[in-house]
Structure 1
């Protein structure tokens, strides 16, 4: 009998492990240590915010419906929060990572985010939401893959490449903050970074020696999915790859009608996926370019990001002039028409089997209308501030969602005007009351002289129209009610308007803001409060066990509990721990036998 003990137990272990391995792991887990490092992306040593010692931070790579667990250790000397640009975080604004919703993570503390990427696919990014910190780094890509049972509307690419582009200052975020607090503009950026690196020396006059640049290695004949996000401070960028077509395939979680572009304007906060086929003869390397838009090129020549696309059979270095950008510095019509050309692929499945176009947004009755107008910075209560509909937003000491949970009065008012105020501007914590399951029309009117990007946390909205001049009721006749792109960030051209439609099906308190860091920092934002009168865990998850307290609720904050952070992290890693335990048991039995 003894001779059969070992193989029997061994077979049981094998069966357990095989059964375990075939089960889907419902979570991905990351440990993020946020700290300062010294780096010189433009050849000047400066303080940069790194994650795990790297700038940019790691790409979060997950699959739709998975849980994402990110344990954050804040080693900065100031408060910190991550927010997740375009990630809808269904039912859980507690994980949103903006000051109107969450208390900040204090210096030297751990805090764990735990949220589900429910029914989403696509290309996004994460970044710090407090204190102008994004201007010093702390950002990274965020990819949500489709489940294998849901087809994608193109052949599986041969590789996946993430590019973070953005304008950059050699002053760190604290110095930039001081500039804004002193009532001054930031001035021209010092350059444009691609994946945290400065420009390739395409011009010895404009680019000094010794700058580290990004190189993307590819193989001839292969097609790559290139995901590009503008993570900068405030500059719209034109993206292009020398001699290569950009086949647009996805924008912030929505598959697009596939169209070729020689270049595409990517505004602050926006993300796109391109399919790029390596179909050139590789006589040399090729330039990847991100250059500033709608600026005086003769003054801004140094503000250009240049990386290198290198074929495995390349015969030499890139040389010569950069590929030309669109020639429309003083006429934005080309760029607006390009933006209008980006359409929803209504026949493609998104995160679910049904086609994207099965949600017929154009036939839904609008329940509430808001016209949000921004202006150039102006004096409000003796300070240089930006406004939205005449209100410069003041972030409360006690976050809105937390104040609701504990019934703290006087933190905010649900009185944001449906039309811009006609009187003098004011500073207030004024938010929008959104009707649960309502359908909101928002008109974003840009009366500034600079391009603005607008973003709404917790949602993808439909971009149904944009034009120059002032929006009127008659403008609705120009709306695209069939295949307007669904996304989380849209551009609003100076002296123009953009109209969006939002299905208010995600309960919580959600930030609606400009993505331009300078105008956001100075008050150009509000929040939309969406409440289900029937409180239940199906429409909003309960406050997490590790919620932080601040402001009027500071007395509830206990000393840091490392065991709770570990518990939440292990909860996400439970299946991996089980696997390890099974392996250990089987190894022990094997040795004992």
Structure 2
């Protein structure tokens, strides 16, 4: 293994020297099962490199990222990187419409560049409801040193992964959905893989909780990710203001919040100054939103903020969540208060505000409506515009390259149709370099998150009610936040603008795992139809591509003793380096 790692390090060095002016980062992630008791009940969870949650991946803007994923689970797996905009290479996206799965005992090496990106993201397993059992970790892209931050350099960096949690395994949860049952109320909320601090007698004794250690007077960048199954969480730190600084790769106007709703799949950075007197520790709270608060009260995540000079343990009631039961405008107002800092530089020295999205002509409007789950062909399913998506046996771009007919259809309707819902493999045929408006209409009874791989989009409008053309008059066309995951309130709509400048086949989905698993997704096929001999719009199919479906016969068996599956050019380099190493040794 030591020799293998040496070879991979040399490959990464050569990758940097011969193939790019930018640095390279090599990471190995191994998915496996371990036993943990986050809520005091022993259960099998998915660990990454033996850890639950998985390790933080720290990279720098423009680095080439090489991630070798080893699947030690007993079922197929893929890792996906939501919000990390893989320029021109949806081959590395890690979802079933773009990648064949990594079989049990196999591995696969992802290669992509974090081109012109900064910010807070996370990775997770995208197949078979596996995120409900873990497998997630933070993915942080830091600025290059030549690009200044729009705030003073923090004294430290804190990562918080929070989410609703079930003591049932992901296999049991998906079996419930397959049988037509609802998941029911979660058993708790975890913070960094740990259960709640015993803030009152309702919390069982002996549960391990998370403690965040800080020093008085210092300011920390607190990166918060909602990696849960389906529950929006309100995040707050007792006695502390949270200065919002970044949302999924874009700097925000710096506004103070005492609490913020963070929906499934969303990530934020806050600047938090430790300016309290440390008479005791402080609560860090993640509590469910848009549910019956009295019934869901036990489903609350509580961690501890511990000053180095703290004089005692945290006691007393938790800080209150928003009191907006009779104020339907609160959630909309808070969501629309998150705006982009148009004067700040991001990954490049030019100001982010130089992109005047509000002055660009919209080339197409697509309305995507979801409704409560319904029975289709005898099974409980969810839909977008009446279509419950069925993943193709052969991934879309692979089917294109090998001319596999019937793998998918380019007939996804741009408006809801008055017809019975159906199972289908319909995807959106998008126009490269188009500038489109997507309206997400949530006619379901629960709040939902929607995510689009490969892109950030401008969240120009959020409201309750039914969207109409007149709703466009309320859009924010100047400083709307750009991000990759947005909430859609129950009985409401969210409008986004997307500049289709990234070729590939990109997943558009509900981030709520139950809705996603039951079919609430599609893909957007953004392909440059113009001749492009310089290949500036899309990277070629990787040499280490996995084959499945109609192309299964092309897949070679992996040697179980092999530790990596790497691109053809890398294999050639490996052979050369092996000979060199043998000579040197």
**Cα pair distance change 1:437/1:24, threshold 3 Å:** closer
In 2, Cα distance between equivalents of 1:509 and 1:566? 23
2:345 alignment counterpart = 349
CA positional deviation for 1:406: 0.6
Shift of 1:567: 5.0
In 2, Cα distance between the equivalents of 1:532 and 1:452?
32
Query: Corresponding residue for 1:559?
Result: 557
* 1:223 CA displacement: 0.2
Give the corresponding residue for 2:178: 181
The structural deviation recorded for 1:492 is 0.3
Q: Which residue of 528, 541, 547 corresponds with 1:549?
A: 547
Paired residue for 2:464? 468
In structure 2, the partner of 1:275 is 271
Q: CA deviation at 1:383?
A: 1.3
The partner residue of 1:121 within 118, 123, 126 is 118
What residue is the counterpart of 1:196 in the other structure? 193
Offset at residue 559 of structure 1 (A)? 1.3
C-alpha distance 165-330 of structure 1, shift in aligned 2 (>3 A): farther
Aligned mates of 2:163, 2:39 — CA distance in 1: 13
- Correspondence 1:96 to 2:83: no
How much does 1:231 deviate? Answer: 0.3
Aligned to 1:372: 368
Three-state SS of the structure 2 residue aligned to 1:300 is: helix
Which has the larger Rg? 1
1:169 aligns with 2:150: no
Kept after mapping to 1: 8 A contact 2:160/2:222: yes
Verify the 8 A CA contact 1:296 1:329 in the aligned structure 2.
Answer: no
C-alpha separation in 1, matches of 2:372 and 2:449: 14
Distance 2:303 2:397 in 1: 43
Q: Deviations over 1:370-407 (max 9, x none)?
A: 00000000111221110001111011111111111111
Q: Does 1:284 align with 2:283?
A: no
User: Distance between the aligned counterparts of 2:300 and 2:316, measured in 1?
Assistant: 15
Per the normalisation by structure 2, the TM-score is 0.93
1:429 corresponding residue in structure 2: 425
CA displacement at 1:327 relative to structure 2: 1.1
CA contact (8 A) 1:229 1:272 kept: yes
- C-alpha distance in structure 2 between counterparts of 1:283 and 1:87, whole Å: 41
C-alpha distance in structure 2 between counterparts of 1:127 and 1:84, whole Å: 7
Aligned Cα root-mean-square deviation (Å): 2.1
Deviation at 1:570, TM superposition (A): 11
- On the 8 A contact 2:246/2:252 being kept in 1, the answer is yes
CA distance in 2, matches of 1:297, 1:416: 38
> In the TM superposition, what are the counterparts of 1:52-451 in structure 2 within 5 Å?
52-204=49-201, 206-329=202-325, 331-451=327-447
C-alpha distance in 2, partners of 1:155/1:417? 48
> TM-score, normalising length from structure 1?
0.91
Q: How many Å separate the matches in 2 of 1:48 and 1:564?
A: 23
Is the contact made by 1:370 and 1:443 (CA closer than 8 Å) also made in structure 2?
yes
Cα-to-partner distance string for 1:63-116 (whole Å, 9 max, x where unaligned): 010011111110100000000010010010000000001000000001111110
- Secondary structure of the residue aligned to 1:339 is helix
Shift of the alpha carbon at 1:27?
A: 1.2
Alignment partner, residue 9 of structure 1: none
Structure 1 residue 524 displacement after superposition: 0.5
User: How many angstroms apart in 2 are the aligned matches of 1:518 and 1:208?
Assistant: 28
Separation in 1 of the partners of 2:407 and 2:195? 44
**Contact 1:295–1:329 at 8 Å: present in 2 too?**
no
Q: Indicate conservation of the 8 Å contact 2:31/2:135, yes or no.
A: yes
The answer to whether the 8 Å contact 1:69/1:569 transfers is no
Shift of 1:332: 3.5
Deviation at 1:537, TM superposition (A): 2.8
Structure-2 residue corresponding to 1:46: 43
Query: 1:507–1:98: structure 2 CA closer, same or farther, 3 Å change rule?
Result: same
CA distance in 2: counterparts of 1:449 and 1:237, whole angstroms: 17
Q: 1:34 to 1:221 in 2, by over 3 A?
A: same
Kindly state the Cα deviation for residue 519 of structure 1 after the two structures are TM-superposed.
Answer: 0.3
Runs of 4+ in 1 over 6 A off after TM superposition: none
Distance 1:25 1:484, change over 3 A: closer
Higher mean C-alpha deviation, range 215-224 or range 536-545: 536-545
Offset of 1:505 from its aligned partner?
Answer: 0.3
Q: Equivalents in 1 of 2:326, 2:371: separation in Å?
A: 20
How far did 1:33 drift? Answer: 1.2
Report the counterpart of residue 5 of structure 1 in structure 2: none
What secondary structure sits across from 2:315 in the alignment?
Answer: coil
Equivalent pairs counted in the alignment come to 559
Gap regions ≥5 residues in structure 1: 1-19, 589-593
- Within the alignment, does 1:482 sit opposite 2:482 as a pair? no
